[in-house]
Amino acid sequence: MVSNTDLELTMSADAEFAELSSTARGEGMGVTPVKALNNNADQMVDIYHAITNHSHRVPYYMVDTTEGHSLLRVLFTEDDIRQNQIDPKWTGKRVWHLQPQKVETPSFGEIYCTFSIHQSDEEKAKISEQGFVVDCRKNTKFLTRYDMENHRRLRHPRRDTALKQYAAEKNAEELARANAMNAQALAQLMQMMQAQAGAATPAPAKGKANSELSI
């Protein structure tokens, strides 16, 4: 049974493809899934990964939501979440989009000191789990991350140095994970493209091969 969430995601994928299809036909491409398997196979489309925003170029027919499997319908599974250590909030959400995806950033003017006791319990728990004491009583929301980091450097110098080292190591891990995720996604794309290409290649006639062997 298809859940409401799946229906919502599917409709969104359909809407994205419909817009792409309309633009393609408006430019005189005349793209169809059948043509895409032969003389129109060189018509390519940019797709963007929901988390990393890495882009790839794939044949038009691979995003077609009206015929067969479409990359726009691929969702993050629980296995994806576990193997790539992704935030569970991505479970069941789309992997690929036709538009560039935004990276989450802190809201402007709502940044507490990293060690502030006034920030949310969730944020305090995160910094505590990293081994840092949460005890800054300055009840101020800094306008920019630069202002907050300058305060932290002056008021908590030792922890600031340790946190920067921790962040550098964490960023290196995140970059390695993103690269691995991107490589995995690219490998899956290549497998799908090879499978599509194999399906479009006609099998050799057995009768002709047998006659040639008998000569």
The CA distance from 46 to 168, in Å, is 31
Confidence of residue 58 (pLDDT cuts 50, 70, 90): confident
Tokens representing 156 are 């908590």
pLDDT band (50, 70, 90) for residue 160:
very high
Whether 150 maps to a domain, the answer reads no
pLDDT category at 210 given cuts 50, 70, 90 is very low
Mean pLDDT comparison of 29-38, 127-136, 169-178, 202-211, highest-scoring range:
127-136
**Average pLDDT of the segment spanning 183-197:** 78
Reported as type and span, the H/E element at residue 4 is: helix 4-26
pLDDT number for residue 132: 93
Residues 45/57, Cβ–Cβ less than 8 Å: yes
Q: How far apart are CA 52 and CA 179, in angstroms?
A: 9
Residues 140-149 have a mean pLDDT of: 83
In this structure, how many other beta carbons lie within 10 angstroms of the beta carbon of residue 142? Answer: 20
Does the residue 60 lie in any domain?
A: yes
Residue 14 is part of which domain span?
4-103
Instruction: Output 86 or 169, whichever has higher pLDDT.
Output: 169
pLDDT of residue 153: 92
Position 139 in a domain: no
Q: State what percent of residues in the chain have pLDDT above 90.
A: 16
Backbone angles phi, psi at 111, to 5 degrees: -110, 115
Encode pLDDT of 100-116 as tens digits.
888 765 555 678 999 99
pTM, two decimals, is: 0.46
Q: By percentage, how much of the chain surpasses pLDDT 70?
A: 72
Would you state the pLDDT for residue 204? 58
82 belongs to a structural domain: yes
Residue at 72 is within a domain: yes
Higher pLDDT, 105 or 14: 14
Tell whether 50 is covered by a domain: yes
CA distance 45 to 189: 13
What's the confidence (pLDDT) of residue 213? 39
Provide the number of structural domains found in the chain: 1
pLDDT > 80? residue 176: yes
Q: Phi first, then psi: what are they for 45, rounded to 5°?
A: -130, 140
pLDDT (mean) for 140-167: 89
Q: What is the pLDDT of residue 214?
A: 41
Q: Which of 24-28, 56-60, 184-188, 197-201 has the highest mean pLDDT?
A: 56-60
Residue 200 pLDDT more than 70?
no
In a domain, residue 55? The reply is yes
Taking 3-state DSSP, the helix, strand and coil percentages for the chain, each rounded to the nearest 5, stand at 55, 10, 35
90 occurs within a structural domain: yes
